Amino acid sequence: MEIKVNAEVKEALKAHKPVVALESTIISHGMPYPQNVETALNVEKIVRDNGAIPATIGIIDGVGIVGMNEEEIEAFGKKGQEITKVSRRDLPIIMANKMWGATTVATTMILAHLGGIEFFVTGGIGGVHRGAEETFDISADLEELAHTNVTVICAGAKAILDLPKTLEILETKGVPVLGYQTEELPAFYSRESGLKVDYALKDAKEAANIIKTKRELGLDGGVLIVNPIPEEDSYPSEEINKIIDVALKEMDEKGIKGKDCTPFLLAKVSELTGGKSLEANIKLVYNNAKIGTMIAKEYYAG
Ligand code: PSU
Ligand code: MN
């Protein structure tokens, strides 16, 4: 088993400077080429411009790469769905067989933690799928948040999921869900879901304090910070929910199951909105990169 942390990331961690991890499933399975590469590189730039070191994570020839270079990011974007989507259960198989793997929220958390990184920015996390009472389809991301000491900054979870059940599981697993300047759980493309978060953060400093306190208590596991999409980029929830219903119906008819659900739904919603949802997706990731970096900086400053 081999993990390679790039020199810049290593140095920053040694000096207790903020590093922000980024995932590769969003590149290979979450967005089309070339927007995926452009977005991934811009996110890295936003992290840098706001004062932290970015570390995009993925698996190349069985090696866990913590901090990819530009060519590697380009390769993940170009190869797209040819690269296996790797969640916790897949990780030993892909690494032992020296394959390439796009890391989900769960495996990005694992590799970030092994590399010593405490903050991770993405778009949306996986959660409890609608109809989970029948299918048992609950993302391994939730289990990872329960156990692994990494703070994840995202725009909530998509309404392709069952959001109330997702919050229930997070409560059971003891994961604090903190709204960044909001009392409501954002639903990815929309700012509203009708569901309450555990606490509304006033600023990045408050976030850093809560994370520190969780660590001091020895309570293992992640912290989830949910940051709503900027108003001007958001979708009214009724509009996007109608589109999501169409996508879910088609997924059912096609018999798509398991790990293929999320990538299918992302692509379908993008198609049905004529690419408008992709635009929104890109914007919310940029916004998360900024806020996530601010929080990481506060954490290391204090
Ligand atoms: N949600 C998004 N965009 C994504 C994903 C989720 O809005 O790209 C990806 C993330 O990598 C997440 C994974 O960890 O999908 C969840 O997949 P599953 O539901 O199969 O666990
Ligand atoms: Mn699943």
DSSP string, the chain: -EEEE-HHHHHHHHTT--EEEE-SHHHHTTS-TTHHHHHHHHHHHHHHHTT-EEEEEEEETTEEEES--HHHHHHHHHHGGGSEEE-GGGHHHHHHTT--EEE-HHHHHHHHHHHT--EEE-S----BBTTHHHH--B-HHHHHHHHS--EEEESB--TTB-HHHHHHHHHHTT--EEEES-SB--BTTBS--S-B-SEEESSHHHHHHHHHHHHHTT--S-EEEE-PPPGGG---HHHHHHHHHHHHHHHHHHT--GGGHHHHHHHHHHHHTTTHHHHHHHHHHHHHHHHHHHHHHHHHH-
How confident is the model at residue 252, as a pLDDT? 93
Q: Is the CB of 262 under 6 A from ligand 1?
A: yes
Q: How far is the CA of 262 from the centre of ligand 2 (A)?
A: 8
Q: How far is the CA of 259 from the centre of ligand 2 (A)?
A: 5
How confident is the model at residue 302, as a pLDDT? 74
Q: Is the CB of 31 under 6 A from ligand 1?
A: no
Q: Is the CB of 140 under 6 A from ligand 1?
A: yes
Q: Is the CB of 26 under 6 A from ligand 1?
A: yes
Q: How far is the CA of 130 from the centre of ligand 1 (A)?
A: 14
Q: Is the CB of 266 under 6 A from ligand 1?
A: yes
How confident is the model at residue 3, as a pLDDT? 98
Ligand nearest to the CA of 105: 1
How confident is the model at residue 293, as a pLDDT? 98
Q: Can you give the residue ranges of every domain in the chain?
A: 3-301
How confident is the model at residue 241, as a pLDDT? 93
How confident is the model at residue 159, as a pLDDT? 84
**Low-confidence residues of the chain: pLDDT under 50:** none
Q: Whose CA is nearest to atom 20 of ligand 1?
A: 259
Atom from ligand 1 closest to the CA of residue 127: 19
Q: Is the CB of 36 under 6 A from ligand 1?
A: no
Q: Which residues are identified as catalytic?
A: 23, 158
Q: Domain 3-301: which topology?
A: Indigoidine synthase fold (3.40.1790)
Atom from ligand 1 closest to the CA of residue 31: 8
Q: How far is the CA of 105 from the centre of ligand 1 (A)?
A: 7
